[in-house]
Structure 1
Amino acid sequence: MRPETEADLAKLVAGLENPVRIVGGGTRGIAGPYAEIETGALRGITLYEPGALTLVARAGTPLAEITAVLEAEGQHLAFEPMDHRGLLGTQGEPTIGGVVAANISGPRRIQAGACRDFLLGVRYVDGRGQVIKNGGRVMKNVTGYDLVKLMGGSWGTLGVLTEVSLKVLPKPERVATLSVRVRDAGTAVRVLSTALRSPFEVTGAAYDPDAGKALLRVEGFAGSVAYRTGRLTAELSRFGEITEEAGADTLWAVIRDAHPFHGQDGDVWRLSVKPGDAAEVSARAEADQLLFDWGGGLVWLRVPKGTDLRARLGVFSGHATVVRADAETVARLGRFQPETAAVSTLTNGLRAKFDPRGLFNPGLMG
């Protein structure tokens, strides 16, 4: 099912009798035993005001189309959404609706915020087939319930996005990446934490154990970047050898897309933890491969197929999400961290209000 307009989508949903899976570009590998509603026909940028740093696009608009339009004006999506295709081996094109629905956010989240922090407004069709609009085209335009933030990260379980309004930002004049040679994950986290606590506005903080490097990104006007990288080099020199890496854009795309795991056997998980816990928790994971982002707050792990990583970790403060595994493993373990009883009561109540017939992506989030 591929509705051509928002009105067609609303009519389609109103007449549904069975659950459906919501699909944008089909790049995130979410499968299920249900018929699909594809949003790819709901595409096109409906408003772009570079001076107001505002862009409005229909949900099925390819992310590449938006990136190209922004690039022509020297602007970008500051939350730098991940491209899952290499990691998951999927086809298709990422869409802006899929990015928003999954709250896909890259390395700059530590400084600029997540995708939902750039959401100004949304339009969506709820489980009754009603078209709902919330928010607007400026940051302070929320009255009543902030459904905009709620839809970001709901994975299509509350409604089918049809249009999103986003704040965009100018691209930085210069990007520099400092590489600090470190001996282990604990040292890497100390390096990343020291840099993030500094006043030098680090916009990327990652650790690649295979390379033995902690990576720090600094962006902005050329003079400011030169000053801040100089100060950071002096501040961090006690930890190890520091060099400036070339090809910053490519390097951070590698981190963003978990590129070291591409083409490697095994299941891929991501942990959201307190950065200070990253080294200890990842050691308990006994993973075949690791990658830290967000100063250690995001840990990518590759483990043997079928591994119950949550059982291996035991009790920890955070969330463990299956990103890549076969259907049997996902069905057995659940994609997302199991909810506590209190949270489950809250989320079930929300779904009952937004999707009373249980139509959208049932079972995906618990």
Structure 2
Amino acid sequence: MKPESEAELAEIIPGLSEPVRIVGGGTRGVAGPEAELSTARLRGITLYEPGALTVVARAGTPVVEIETALAAENQQLAFEPADYRAVLGTSGEPTIGGVVAANISGPRRIQAGACRDFLLGVRFVDGRGQVIKNGGRVMKNVTGYDLVKLMAGSWGTLGVLTEVSLKVLPKSETAATLVWEGRDWASTLKLFCDALGAPFEVSGAARLPEEGNQRARTVLRVEGFEDSVKYRVSKLLELFKDSGPDQVVTEPAENARVWGAVRNLKPFQGASGNVWKTSVKPTDMTRVVNGSNPNRIIDWGGGLIWTLAPEGEDLREALDGIPGHSTLVRAARSEMEMMGRFQQEDAGIQALTQAIREKLDPRGLFNPGLMG
């Protein structure tokens, strides 16, 4: 089913006799019911006001279409949405609805915030076929819920997004990346803590694993006006005068390559094994990695750990006693069904989640079983 409009979608849903799998560009590799409900034809930018730093687009609009329109005005989606197609082995086009539904947020999250922090409003169709608009019509049975925040990261389990409104930001004039090679986990964490604790507005703090003849790299990014970037880089060099970087990258294309590798998980592309995403407190990073498995990409100053793990290995066991959660991003279907994509919520959160779903999708139509 591929509705051509929000109105058509609202007519389809009440007539559904079985659960459906919600699909945008089909790039996430999400399994589910055989019946598919696609937003691919709900596309197009409906409003763009560069002066107001606001863009409104239908859910099926390709991300590249939005980024192209913003670039023409020297603006950007500051949360750096990632493209995981090469890692997941999928095709199709990443859509803005899919980005919002999965709350996909890149390296700049550590400074600028996540996708949900830039989401100004949503339109979606609930499980009764009612069109809901944040800030407009308010249903009695969802009064008090922040629908914008609920829809971001809900993976289509609460409703079918039809339109999103986003805050955008100007592109940075320039960027610089400080690169350390061959640092171990403990010294990497210290670099992160020292840099992010200093007043120099670091917009990326990551570690890439060894790749071919390239040693592991710990990288810090600074962005902004050219004079500001030069000043902040000089201050960081002073801060790390006893353990300075091996390189400072200022060439735009090389900066783009480094952070594209972090954002899109380049070291894992074409590699066999399961891919896990683990979120913890940055200071708990070393407790999680514990000197094991070098096939990890660290982001958000240690708060986000991507791991390429052997098939059958459950990384959630490594979190015993460590606050956080692990998501299985890529695995064979049998393993995904056995271990589950998402970590099981505790009883209190699970009860709250179920109550919200019953309000918005009382018949359990949307992506059943995906999030527990």
Under a length normalisation based on structure 2, what TM-score does the superposition of the two structures give?
0.94
Give the 3-state SS of the residue equivalent to 2:317 in structure 1: helix
Count of equivalent residues:
359
Contact 2:178 2:248 in 1 (8 A): yes
CA separation in 2, counterparts of 1:314 and 1:111? 29
Corresponding residue number in structure 2 for 1:52 = 52
* Pair 1:39 & 2:45 matched: no
Q: In the alignment, which of 230, 236, 253 is matched to residue 226 of structure 1?
A: 230
For 1:113-152, list aligned pairs within 5 A.
113-135=113-135, 145-152=145-152
Report the residue type matching 1:63 in the other structure.
V
What does the per-residue CA deviation read over 1:125-170, in whole Å, with 9 as the maximum and x for residues that have no partner? Answer: 000000000048xxxxxx9532111111100000000000000000
* Pair 1:295 & 2:301 matched: yes
Give the 3-state SS of the residue equivalent to 2:242 in structure 1: helix
Contact 1:57 1:164 in 2 (8 A): yes
CA separation in 1, counterparts of 2:149 and 2:357? 15
Contact 1:61 1:95 in 2 (8 A): yes
Corresponding residue number in structure 1 for 2:102 = 102
Corresponding residue number in structure 2 for 1:275 = 282
- Give the deviation of 1:318 after TM superposition: 0.4
CA separation in 1, counterparts of 2:67 and 2:175? 18
CA separation in 2, counterparts of 1:308 and 1:147? 33
Q: Cα distance 1:332–1:18, how it changes in 2: closer, same or farther (>3 A)?
A: same
CA separation in 2, counterparts of 1:338 and 1:150? 18
Instruction: Tell me which moved more, 325-334 or 210-219.
Output: 210-219
- Give the deviation of 1:182 after TM superposition: 4.7
- Give the deviation of 1:233 after TM superposition: 1.1
Mark the runs of 5 or more structure 2 residues left unpaired by the alignment: 137-142
For 1:186-197, list aligned pairs within 5 A.
186-197=186-197
Corresponding residue number in structure 1 for 2:268 = 261
Report the residue type matching 1:91 in the other structure.
S
Contact 2:19 2:33 in 1 (8 A): no
Corresponding residue number in structure 1 for 2:139 = none
Contact 1:233 1:242 in 2 (8 A): no
Contact 1:42 1:162 in 2 (8 A): yes
- Give the deviation of 1:32 after TM superposition: 1.7
Contact 1:120 1:135 in 2 (8 A): no
CA separation in 1, counterparts of 2:73 and 2:180? 34
What does the per-residue CA deviation read over 1:47-95, in whole Å, with 9 as the maximum and x for residues that have no partner? Answer: 0000000000000000010010000000000000110101101000000
What does the per-residue CA deviation read over 1:278-333, in whole Å, with 9 as the maximum and x for residues that have no partner? Answer: 1221127x435111000010001011112122124433210100011011111111
- Give the deviation of 1:14 after TM superposition: 1.0
CA separation in 2, counterparts of 1:135 and 1:31? 32
Q: In the alignment, which of 319, 326, 329 is matched to residue 323 of structure 1?
A: 329
Report the residue type matching 1:357 in the other structure.
R
Corresponding residue number in structure 1 for 2:216 = 212
CA separation in 1, counterparts of 2:337 and 2:68? 38
CA separation in 2, counterparts of 1:255 and 1:283? 21
CA separation in 2, counterparts of 1:177 and 1:283? 27
Give the 3-state SS of the residue equivalent to 1:238 in structure 2: coil
Give the 3-state SS of the residue equivalent to 1:86 in structure 2: helix
Give the 3-state SS of the residue equivalent to 1:239 in structure 2: coil
What does the per-residue CA deviation read over 1:3-33, in whole Å, with 9 as the maximum and x for residues that have no partner? Answer: 0000100110111111000000000110123
Q: Cα distance 1:135–1:77, how it changes in 2: closer, same or farther (>3 A)?
A: farther
Give the 3-state SS of the residue equivalent to 2:231 in structure 1: helix
CA separation in 2, counterparts of 1:39 and 1:124? 11
Q: Cα distance 1:241–1:109, how it changes in 2: closer, same or farther (>3 A)?
A: closer
Corresponding residue number in structure 2 for 1:139 = none
Q: In the alignment, which of 332, 342, 350 is matched to residue 336 of structure 1?
A: 342
CA RMSD of aligned residues (A): 1.4
Report the residue type matching 1:35 in the other structure.
A
Contact 1:10 1:125 in 2 (8 A): yes
- Give the deviation of 1:183 after TM superposition: 2.8
What does the per-residue CA deviation read over 1:252-274, in whole Å, with 9 as the maximum and x for residues that have no partner? Answer: 01100111000001001010011
CA separation in 2, counterparts of 1:9 and 1:318? 37
CA separation in 2, counterparts of 1:261 and 1:274? 23
Sequence identity (%): 60
- Give the deviation of 1:212 after TM superposition: 2.8
Corresponding residue number in structure 2 for 1:306 = 312
